[in-house]
Amino acid sequence: MRTIEWKGDAVYFIDQTKLPRRLIIAKCDDHEELARAIENMKIRGAPALGVAAAMGIALAAKNSKGKTADEIKSDLVAASKRIRSTRPTARNLFWGLERMERVWRREKDPSKLIDRVIKEAGIIADEDVQLCRGIGRHGAELIFDGDNILTHCNAGGLACVEYGTALGVIRSAVAGGKKVFVYATETRPLLQGARLTAFELKSEGIPFKLITDNMVGYVMQKGLVDKVVVGADRITKRGDVINKIGTYGIAVLARAHGIPFYVAAPSSTIDLLVRSEEIEIEERKAEEVTTVCGKSIAPRGTDVLNPAFDLTPKELVSAIITEKGVAYPPYDLSVLLGKS
C-alpha cells in the first residue's frame, strides 16, 4: 500500500512510530490531526511531508464552513500556517503548501476551489511515485553489480509515497538485475534505519546488515562499502545537503576512504532562495536522546543536544540524483530546475 493516501474524505497513512512491530493504518479527518501526526513523527521523511502538507490543505478545504471562496481561502491560510509550524527543515513541506496555494489563490468559485484543492493533493501524491521511480532509474546507473551500499536514516517508500529516493535507487538497481548488499545505519535517536529501512529491505528481500551509527568508520576502513546513497531534506542552490543528523559524519568518512557519496532527492527538495546558514535545523526534545524505545538510558536531568539534521557541504557530495538526472559538481541547481 501507499505510505499516505487520500481515500473518500480522509487521509490514511502508515503510522511510522509503530513499525516494525505493527503495521497500523491511521486516519486523519482534519488538518489539525494531520499536523500532530507530522509533529509526532507518525508521518515523516521529506517527500512524504510535502504530500502530507498538500493533503492537510485538502482536509482544511473539505472541512471549511466558508460559503464564499474568500471565506474558504481564509481557512486555508490558517491551515497552511499550522502545517508550516510542524517541522522547519524539510523543504518539501513548504513546497507542498506553496504549490497548493498557487492552485487555490486562482480559484474564485467556492465548490470548484474545494474540488481543485483535493484533486491537486492527489496529483502531488501520484507524482511523487513517478518522481521516485525516475530518481531510481537515473541513480541505478551509478550502481554496479556487486556493490555494497551504505545508506542512512530512511529514504525509502515510507519517507515518500511508495518507492523511495535513496532506497528507490537501490530498488531500481536490484530490479535491473544487479546484486547489491546494503549497510543500513540504525540512525539514533529515533532509529529510522533500524525500524524502517530494515523493515523495507527485509520485506523486499534485499540483503543487508544493520549497523550502529558509530560503525560507519569501521565498515569503510575494512573495505566493506563501495558507495553511499542517502536522501535529503533540503538542498541549497550552492549544493549543500541538509539530511538526517549523522549524514555529515558519514560524508567525511566517505571522503577519507575515497568512497563516492551520492544524494538522491526529488527536485522539490531543492531550495534556490535560502542560504545554507539560514536554514533552521530542527531541535527535538531531550527524551529522544535520553531514552531508547521508551526506556531511560541516562541519569535523570541529563542535559541533551538533539539536532534532527546536519549540513553536508557540497564539496563532500559526489553527485545529486533527481528525477531530472544525475548532476555532478560543479552543478548549477537553478539550471537543473530550469530556473536560470
200 sits near ligand MRU (criterion: CB under 6 A): no
Which residues on adjacent β-strands are paired with residue 228?
Answer: 150, 261
Binding piece for ligand MRU, criterion CB under 6 A, among 41-49, 73-81, 205-213, 288-296:
41-49
| Rounded-to-integer distance, Cα 195 and Cα 158, Å | 11
Instruction: Decide if residue 47 touches ligand MRU (CB under 6 A).
Output: yes
Minimum CB distance to ligand MRU smaller for 64 or for 165: 165
**51 binds ligand MRU per the rule CB under 6 A:** no
Q: How far is the CB of 215 from ligand MRU (least distance, A)?
A: 18
> If DSSP codes are grouped into helix, strand and coil, which group holds residue 46?
helix
60 vs 132, which CB is nearer to ligand MRU? 132
Q: Is 264 helix (H, G, I), strand (E, B) or coil?
A: strand
Which stretch, 52-60, 97-105, 155-163, 325-333, contacts ligand MRU (CB under 6 A)?
155-163
Residue that is written with C-alpha cell 480559484 in the block: 107
The type of residue at 143 is I
Helix (H) or strand (E) holding 182: strand 181-185
Q: Does 72 bind ligand MRU (CB under 6 A)?
A: no
Cis peptide preceding 20, ω within 30 of 0: yes
135 near ligand MRU (CB under 6 A)? no
Cβ-contact 158, 45 below 8 angstroms: yes
Helix (H) or strand (E) holding 5: strand 4-7
Nearer to ligand MRU, 70 or 280 (CB): 280
Our finding on whether 44 is near ligand MRU (CB under 6 A) is: yes
Q: Which is nearer to ligand MRU, 110 or 193 (CB)?
A: 193
How many whole angstroms separate alpha carbon 37 and alpha carbon 319? Answer: 33
Upper half-sphere CA count for residue 69 (Cβ side, 13 Å): 14
Note whether 225 binds ligand MRU by CB under 6 A.
no
- Taking the complex as a whole, how short is the minimal distance between the CB of residue 47 and ligand MRU, in angstroms? 5
Catalytic residues: 233
Distances (CA, A) of 214 to 112, 187, 210, 306: 53, 10, 12, 17
Of 308, 317, 319, 333, the one binding ligand MRU (CB under 6 A) is 308
| 45 belongs to the binding site for ligand MRU (CB under 6 A) | yes
Give the count of residues interacting with ligand MRU (CB under 6 A).
17
Interface with ligand MRU includes 149 (CB under 6 A)?
no
Determine if 103 is a binding residue for ligand MRU (CB under 6 A): no
Position 206, amino acid: I
> For 135, what's the count of Cα atoms within 13 Å in the CB-facing half-sphere?
37
Give the interface with ligand MRU as residue ranges (CB under 6 A).
Answer: 44-47, 90, 153, 155, 159-160, 165, 192, 231-233, 243-244, 308
